[in-house]
């Protein structure tokens, strides 16, 4: 009887702890996987569009016919889109109505494809958006998030408790034993406290970044539309790897539009809108004005391309009479690689600095404590 009671109580205790722990880790897994799920949802939708185009069927017909299978793996948003289409909505307005189905940049690209009357032509440019993550970058995000939610908040909190409760007691003890408190150590510890406060500020930045990571493009759109925060676009533009990806999206869509023989000034404006960034759009307007004044496209693009490589590749495509998108494929891949490299480097530098700062705070505390103990031993020897 006692053994059965022992087993039941320990099993109940195990379940009581297991369920919250499991729920916590599942929540972490769900939140971390959100960007990848968005990416796969967009990839699946593009595959459907491409399949329908190859079969000579319209997008509306393709979506509604697949939705009639009632397959739950397609997701609620896909079936909601099908309902809008069967209700008479056009494809692009219906996609814009279903929030979170596709990234804003991809919706803008599909809108351009519908405008030029050839959706299939913009699909390669849309697929470039699906290269913005991958498992390697996600692993670096995981590392950063672990630091943000475990290492960063815990260490300053413990340090604050030591400052408030432990250090005054130690100072009082050292003063009683040595008659004069160890003067250098409190000043040293105040420096460590300042470092802890800086680290708390860094933790706040990490939390904000994690919120944007989970919220995704839709959250940025809400902030810009509802709260009127235009400076977010400027902030995103000056993040090096994001700027590289914006340049990639602009170049890919510009090449597609030039291949479709869209007028250059119109092509530049449409390509800029596909980046969903007001800084790029503002520069594109200046480029379009220059084109209307008779300046060549390769010269006008100087406002968009600081390195000059984009203009050089575009000029080669013009001289060689080649397909613009094919001519720029190498440069688009180069931008992808540079963005990946910059993002990885930033992740590694930040995490390394955080570990070093934590080590510095522990070292300062150890110097304070062991310095006081050493002073006590020296005083005891003199007695």
| Domain range for 366 | 134-229+345-382
Between residues 95 and 182, the one the model is more confident about: 95
The average pLDDT across 78-89 equals 86
pLDDT at 249: 87
Judge whether 35 and 103 are in contact, CB under 8 Å: no
Whether residue 128 has pLDDT greater than 70:
yes
**Secondary structure of residue 36 in the 3-state scheme:** helix
Lowest mean pLDDT across 114-123, 146-155, 207-216 = 146-155
- Residue 183 is predicted with a pLDDT of 46
Taking 80 as the threshold, does the pLDDT of residue 277 lie above it?
A: yes
Higher pLDDT, 229 or 24: 24
Q: Token digits for 253?
A: 């869509």
Q: Quick one: pLDDT at residue 8?
A: 63
Count of beta carbons in the 10 Å neighbourhood of residue 123: 18
pLDDT at 154: 64
Cβ-count burial 44-72 (b if 16+ within 10 Å, e if not): ebbebbbebbeeeeebbebbbebbeeeee
Residue 368 confidence (pLDDT) above 80: no
How confident is the model at residue 383, as a pLDDT? Answer: 60
How far is CA 228 from its chain centroid?
21
| Mean pLDDT across 2-9 | 62
Mean pLDDT for 119-148 is 66
pLDDT at 6 over 60: no
CB 244 within 8 A of CB 132: no
Q: How far apart (Å, rounded) are the C-alpha atoms in residues 66 and 341?
A: 39
Confidence of residue 135 (pLDDT cuts 50, 70, 90): very low
Residue 139 has pLDDT above 60, yes or no: no
pLDDT in the model for residue 379: 64
Distance CA 7, CA 46 (A): 54
Mean of per-residue pLDDT scores for the chain: 75
Provide the pLDDT for residue 174.
Answer: 67
- For 344-364, what is the mean pLDDT? 75
- Confidence band (pLDDT; 50, 70, 90) for 85? confident
Residue-wise pLDDT tens digits, 150-209: 555 666 667 666 766 776 777 677 666 665 554 455 555 566 667 667 777 777 777 777
Residue 305 lies in a domain: no
Q: What is the pLDDT at residue 1? A: 55
Q: 10 Å Cβ neighbour count for 17?
A: 10
Mean pLDDT of 287-309: 81
| Domain contains 177 | yes
Tell the residue number behind the tokens 């440019």, with chain if given. Answer: 125
Per mean pLDDT, which of 28-42, 51-65, 163-177, 211-225 is the most reliable? 51-65
Lowest mean pLDDT among 35-49, 67-81, 148-162, 202-216: 148-162
Mean pLDDT for 342-348 is: 79
Is 318 within 8 Å of 311 (Cβ atoms)? Answer: no
Span 302-320, average pLDDT: 74
Q: What are phi and psi of 66, to 5 degrees?
A: -70, -35
Tokens read off for 36: 């990848």
Q: Is residue 70 part of a domain?
A: no
For 224-258, write each residue's pLDDT tens digit.
665 555 567 788 888 888 888 888 888 888 888 88
| Residue 266, domain member (yes or no) | no
Average pLDDT over residues 217-225: 67
Q: What domain count does the chain have?
A: 1
What the block records as the tokens of 31 is 């939140």
Nearest-CA neighbor of 104 among 114, 116, 92?
92
- Check residue 146 and give its pLDDT: 56
């Amino acid at each position: 009887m006692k053994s059965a009671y022992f087993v039941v109580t320990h099993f109940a205790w195990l379940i009581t702890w297991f369920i919250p722990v499991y729920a916590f880790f599942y929540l972490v897994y769900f939140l971390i996987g959100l960007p990848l799920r968005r990416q796969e949802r967009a990839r699946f939708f593009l595959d459907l569009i491409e399949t329908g185009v190859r079969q000579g069927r319209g997008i509306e017909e393709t979506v509604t016919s697949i939705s009639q299978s009632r397959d739950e793996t397609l997701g609620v948003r896909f079936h909601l889109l099908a309902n809008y289409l069967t209700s008479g909505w056009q494809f692009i307005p219906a996609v814009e109505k279903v929030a979170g189905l596709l990234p804003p940049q991809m919706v803008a690209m599909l809108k351009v494809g519908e405008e030029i009357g050839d959706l299939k032509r913009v699909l390669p440019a849309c697929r470039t958006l699906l290269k913005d993550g991958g498992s390697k970058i996600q692993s670096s995000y995981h590392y950063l998030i672990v630091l943000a939610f475990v290492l960063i908040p815990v260490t300053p909190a413990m340090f604050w408790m030591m400052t408030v409760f432990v250090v005054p007691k130690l100072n009082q003890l050292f003063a009683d034993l040595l008659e004069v408190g160890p003067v250098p150590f409190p000043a040293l510890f105040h420096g460590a406290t300042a470092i802890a406060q800086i680290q708390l500020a860094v933790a706040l930045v990490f939390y904000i970044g994690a919120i944007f990571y989970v919220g995704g493009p839709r959250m940025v759109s809400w902030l810009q539309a509802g709260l009127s925060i235009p400076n977010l676009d400027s902030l995103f533009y000056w993040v090096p790897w994001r700027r590289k990806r914006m340049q990639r999206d602009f170049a890919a869509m510009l090449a597609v539009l030039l291949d479709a023989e869209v007028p250059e000034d119109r092509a530049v404006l449409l390509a800029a809108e596909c980046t969903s960034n007001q800084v790029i759009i503002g520069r594109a307007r200046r480029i379009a004005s220059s084109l209307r004044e008779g300046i060549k496209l390769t010269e006008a693009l100087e406002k968009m391309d600081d390195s000059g490589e984009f203009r050089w590749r575009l000029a080669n495509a013009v001289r060689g009479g080649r397909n613009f998108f094919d001519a720029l494929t190498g440069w688009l891949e180069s931008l992808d690689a540079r963005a990946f490299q910059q993002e990885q480097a930033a992740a590694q530098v930040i995490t390394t600095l955080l570990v070093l700062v934590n080590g510095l705070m522990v070292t300062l505390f150890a110097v304070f404590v062991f310095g006081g103990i050493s002073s006590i031993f020296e005083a005891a020897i003199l007695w």
